[in-house]
Amino acid sequence: MTTFDIPVLDEVHAAAPQLDTLPGRCVPYAMAAGEGERHELGGQLITVIARPEDTGGQFGAAYVYGGKGTETPFLAHDREHRFLYVTDGRLQIWLPGESHLLVPGDSVTVPAGTPYAYRMLAHRTRFLSWLTVGDGHRWSQATGQATSSHVFDAEAAPMSDARQSELADRFGIRVHDLEKTDLPAVTGTSLPAAESPYVLQAGEGDRWASLDQLNTYLARPRNTGGTYFAMHTMGGKSAYIPRHFHREHTENFFCIEGRILLHANGREIMLTKGDFLHAPAGTIHSFAFDSHNTQMLGLLTTGVFEKFFEYMNVPTDAHVHTEGGDMQFPAEGFARARAELDLEVVGPPPARGDGR
């Protein structure tokens, strides 16, 4: 079994966030859109922004960018769970017994061992790929070619099935000879009760509101074997929250729209669309929204912090946040979170300063 460099909490507390480079060890870092390890695979540009060695073996993440008609065969990951979030274009995806056309804001959750396939339907389609180990991205790097480009090669030949399957066993991936046919869209509007494959349409999911923000669970720990959960947050300009850290879980911030200010170990970093920040356990951090319509995707490993959003919010059927509402800071819920969950407050909210 591979072992990874995981610093102790005091080391993480003191680590200055690295910018636009993969650190090779589990410390805080941020990646601007387009930065990362890039490789070309059959007309797709795959930009790896997190590897197992950067996250203590908790996950891998990449942006996948390609043109109309680019597609994969049916695949299954034996050792890892996959989550896809569409940011641009249109994507067709096949799951067992169903198929969907996805647009920005839609997501797909695929448990280990589940066959799936996708086809890009717009000339510029992009999605975030999250893997609970990262082997799938390593496999695509091994079968593709490193590139310095920030755009996909529209003239590239499709990757042959033989080449794709050549290294598949090494990375725990199986290629299935299944037919792609149009099937009814079965899932799409709610989270399943257990760990099963599903699509969630933009705006759907378990929604909770508070303080001019709308928080939507796109995947809960019950859907991911307890390995992570996904939270979409939208809202207007906001103040920083108190500075805090976690001992048992990692938080990962992706800017979908607008501007997010992240304060990590004393440094303020601004995220805009496509930017990412990794805050491993021990990172002293806070965040604020810096534009009137900001959207953030949070992926948290493991699932220990799930109840925080229920303690701090109220359930809602709304699909947008309320601006200028009369909600007060949920002091009782915050106190309960501090008492029961993995939350250690170390100081008041930071002052706004210069972003990166």
Task: List the domains of the chain with CATH numbers.
Answer: 15-176 (2.60.120.10), 205-347 (2.60.120.10)
Closest listed residue to residue 136, CA positions, set 61, 57, 195, 53: 61
CB within 8 Å of 171: residues ≥ 6 apart: 135, 136, 138, 139, 142
Radius of gyration (C-alpha) of the chain in whole angstroms: 20
Strands 29-31 and 18-19: parallel
pLDDT of residue 146: 96
pLDDT of residue 156: 86
Q: Where are the alpha helices (DSSP H) in the chain?
A: 9-14, 135-143, 161-166, 308-312, 331-340
What gap in Å lies between CA 112 and CA 162, rounded to an integer? 22
Closest listed residue to residue 62, CA positions, set 267, 257, 252, 279: 252
Amino acid occupying residue 317: D
pLDDT of residue 27: 96
**DSSP per-residue codes, 217-267:** EEE-GGGTTTS-EEEEEEES--PPPPEEE-SS-EEEEEEEES-EEEEETTE
Residue 62, judged by CB atoms within 10 A of its CB (0-12, 13-18, 19+), counts as: buried
Quote helix, strand, coil % in the chain, to nearest 5.
15, 40, 50
Q: What angle do CA 27, 29, 35 make, to 5 degrees?
A: 140
CB within 8 Å of 174: residues ≥ 6 apart: 75, 76, 78, 115, 168
pLDDT of residue 283: 97
Q: What sign does the CA torsion over 222, 225, 231, 232 have?
A: negative
DSSP-based three-state secondary structure for 211: coil
pLDDT of residue 161: 61
pLDDT of residue 263: 97
Which ranges of the chain have pLDDT less than 70? 1-3, 159-165, 325-327, 354-356
The residue assigned the tokens 């496509």 is: 274
Q: In what order do the strands lie in the sheet with 44-50?
A: 145-146, 37-41, 44-50, 60-66, 125-131, 82-88, 107-110, 198-200
The residue assigned the tokens 């319509």 is: 293
pLDDT of residue 160: 64
pLDDT of residue 246: 97
DSSP-based three-state secondary structure for 192: coil
